[in-house]
Structure 1
Amino acid sequence: MNDWQIPVELSGSERFERLVNSIRDYAIYLLDRDGHVASWNAGAERFKGYTASEIIGQHFSRFYTEEDRAAGLPARALRIAAETGTFEAEGWRVRKDGTRFWTSVVIDPVLDETGRLIGFAKVTRDVTDKRAAARALLESEQRFRLLVQGVRDYAIYMLDPEGYVTNWNRGAQAIKGYAAEEIIGRHFSTFYTEEDRQAGEPARALRVAIEQGKYEVEAWRERKGGQRFRAGVLIDPIHDEEGRLIGLAKITRDLTERWQAQQAVERARETMAQAQKMEAVGRLTGGVAHDFNNLLTIIRSSADLLKLPTLSAEKRDRYVDAIAQTADRAAALTSQLLAFSRRQPLKPELFDVGERLAAMQPLIQTSVGPTIDIAIGAGEGTVVNADRNQFETAILNLVINARDAMPAGGALSLTPGIVDALPAARGHGGAEGRFVAVRIADTGSGIAPDTLEKIFEPFFTTKALNKGTGLGLSQVHGFAKQSGGDIDVQSEPGVGTAFTLYLPQVAHVGALQPLSERIGDRTMATRRVLLVEDNEAVGQFARSLFEELGQIVTWVQHGEAALELLERAHDKIDLVFTDVIMPGISGLDLARSIRERWPALPVVLTTGYSHALAAEQDHGFPLLRKPYSVEGIVEILG
């Protein structure tokens, strides 16, 4: 027989008695009709501290507290059990040693076969720990409720799964204006603006919170009186132990003052930016006028010198070249401004840096004056792929800065060369590869260390008002970086300054032909050109230029006239050359009409203001920028 088996020879009553006596977690015992203890199990002995011999025959009221006995609670418990069939309660009881414990008590009447009351069955359980935990939980919940209710800067409340308000804290009342009795039971969409309700935003907020675990937004909400406020909103779903959605927690904060402050800061920023913009425009306008006047001085002086009857042929050619090159510088200055504002991309081409420096010598000499000695070194293999106009503008900017640093005269050297890697410059990392390096060094006043850190910033200048744009060195820096290179500077006050411009070298390039040779070698067929140009002076010049190149030109001054002519004789035109900005139909619209109606007829666009095409980068037509040159015309005529 196993230890846990009850002997079969025991009677049913003996088995039941042994079962009851083995229970230790419940006090199970019998009372007679008057409440005296008639039996006592092991659980009763463990809870109450009495052995069976000590307690059987004693009245059960001795387990009650003095105050409960005085209130007649033991007799009332037996009476209720007898009258209703059961008595159930929780309360304090007293152990043998006088200590109290919290019990759960059930008293049932015991009847004989005739239904006569013969006693009571009493079951008691010690639930002191359970009561303590329940009280701790209750106190915690009360503290939490007090905490939530005490918060006034946040609206904290609950929603049921459909979005109806189930509770309401003081912060919610302060922010939204509703008392708890006014809002509990109403849908939270009450707080939304009419346009948000129409757009289904409340339902979307619940859906996002439930599906994604959180909904967070900053938006406009409405108070009780209809006044709007800027709210920071957070909604979190709440699930029970089994993972079922039982509601949502919603927290709202009034951010109106912060939002208004941010708007004020933004307005102040915009005002400051506008003021800085106007200051920059003022400086830019004066500086551009200064730079253009410098260029016009060279052109006017060269033109005056060409009138001298005693001028030698060599000097005449030099001054003609100076005029042409200075006109290119003026065009490059405009291009520089447009490139700086990101309205004109760079146009890379292959050229030899050493050759360009040599060709620029007359312009450089004219720009710096006779008090400065110029030395231009020779370079070998100094071919780059970059925007030639921007390169020459960069060199001219550096040369003019050197001139201004030597008002009493000095020496200026321009030395091209090759380096095997791009060195680190001004805290920037270097780069591998071969680079053409052009060193422009002067013996001027030098640059102070604190100024040296700022010289490449846009609009920064140490020159007097209207004595420069402040764009020169920023243009040089931007050109170098866009071309894959960099610029470095070393300077010592009182000794001089050396700028070094680095551009990636292009290796294995054959000899580059001069412009005159390229034009002379080009065989051009005679074409019938329709010139569309609204400016009369430019139109006459362009017509002469085409005719000097052996072309047959028909000139009209607006797009409508061009379309009328093409309607009659499009088969007699080989090329349309049109300005972009014109009154009436624009050159781009004209080109598109021609492509649609006569797709085989080529169209070339020309403009001096590339912003006109800034949003039309994929227009698909060849573009020649003004001022165009003989070389440009030769290129399009092919």
Structure 2
Amino acid sequence: MSGEGDASVRATEPPTGAALLAAADTGVVVFDADARVVWSNEAATRYLDVDAATVEGLSAAAFAERVATRLADGDAFIEAVTEGGIDGPDRALHIVEGPAERWLERRTHPIEDGEYAGGRVECYVDVSDQKHALDRLDRRERTLRAVHDVLLDRSRPLDDRLDELLGVAGRMLGAEHAAFARLGDGRVLVENVTSSLDAAVEPGHAIDTGETVAGVVAERDALVQADGATERWPGRRPVGVAGDVALDYYVGVPVAVEGEQYGVLSFAGTSPKEAGLDWELTLLDITVNSLGHEIGNSIREDRAEEQLQQARREFESLVQDVEDYAIFRLDVDGHVESWNRGAEAIKGYEREEIVGEHVRTFHTEADRETGYAEELLERARERGRALDTGWRVQADGSRIWVNAVITALRDDDGELQGFLKVTRDMTERREREQQLEHERERLEFVNRIIRHNLLNGMNVVEARANIVEGHVDDEVAPHLATIQDRVEDMTDLIETMRTFMKAIVEGEEHEPEPTPLGDVLAAEVSKANRAYDDATFEHDELPDVPVLADDLLPEVFENLLTNAVQHNDGPAARVQVETEVSDDEVVVSVLDDGPGIDESVMAHVFEKGQKGFESPGTGFGLYLVQEIVDSYGGHVEATNRAVGGAKFTVTLPRLGDGEQA
């Protein structure tokens, strides 16, 4: 070997302070300016397993090659020592050959003066204890991270995570066998096994609790650790092990779910373990708490999923029986996935014909060319749902007018799962609405003729009659009075028709609004007082509250007050107006002292034309009252008073305190 020592070098006196360094725990090797070993102490001999007398005089390269055979990475050591003793980035030396495995930290220091100036001192410090402690910390950190990742990786099934958790915890404890079993009804059911033992059983194996060490864990409801498990609990085997196996080491820990015992984690080995597993057992205890939480979550999720599936089955069963609506699911691209009886009836397709087809099948050719079906799906995807009314095509090619709603279906993470489409055939309703609109137009036409032509004619007749009045003799005067009365009746009839047409024909545009009830009542009572000199109208303080009505409300009370006077057979009618206010409504009652309502017509008093033209009024007044009040969301009723006379009660919705008339 190159660089062997010579006698002159070996005879060199030891460096100053050698006696002190010889007894140090740090290994010391001194190189002279020629990079030859001139001295080494006992610690260097002990750590590097080289004899001091043998290495003195060796070149740095020869020294490095002799030591390198004992190192895990000898080449790196040779390179560091031979290149002028440069201190590399990794100063740790792992000695794997020799009396004992060691970890050394190598440091170099130049010699700047004295006999060996230009040389260097290499120091080797035994850091095995620190290295082992760091390794333990590193293993613990990796174990802790692995446990954390397994428990919180909810993207994987719990069963797969349990298998991995058994592997991680088993390696942490140095166990050859790990299993998880569920407790119940005096039995232990193995659900997960990770083992290198030939006697291990497969998941699904069940055994009486009294035959397993897990039974001891369950009885104590606490972590159990023991060496000599086979001798300590004869006749009991660790969970997941069949037959007689001499297992000395055992750790078992109970798993609770929602405060109740659920199962046991078991770990076992064929040889006793050294002490010092406190940290590992603490982590295991923490792990089973988290595991119990995850199992509880899984049970709740399974239960919720089952309830969801049950609800879905019930919903689909219910939907299947619906015949008035086409209700069916679409996949994310718009293809039909389900089909109910209503869909068969409305669309005309059998389930086998349409499932798998695109929703554009139901659209007209024009809609298909413009991609209207895809536009509706995109609208539902972006906004949550899409509404549409229009023509659709049935299986036989005929067209129907439909109202359709498409709703986007998403999971808990917001991912689109498809669509639900609900369609209603509105063809007949559309035809009815068109007919009603036509009838409304005809009625409005007739109304304009009555209001303009007839009213203008009546105004002319009234004017001429008023001119003639005072110029006729006593024989003709009664006939003129009859003409004037009839003209007045006809004028009232035309005005009633105006109000009737506004309430009925224009009903769709008839929107109630806050209306001051007290002002309306005061005005109508005052008007009635002026119109009927012989009648008396009485009322308490009128309420200053707003009700939900409009400009037709005065017609209601004008009709009721007029009705109370005209149907009174006494010399002077007496009419009372009473009000009652509550949180939600206002009740107005009009009471008279007349003959009351004949019981034979009581049930029909609000019907159209109940009074003939030979009686005062038109016969439409009370019908109009009911129609107007109904349109406000209120109601009206007629009764006879015990003391005589009739009572008409109008109930109107009252606005809240924050709403103003």
Q: Scaled by the length of structure 1, what TM-score is found?
A: 0.33
Greater Rg by CA:
2
Q: Which has the higher contact order (CA 8 A, sep 6+)?
A: 1
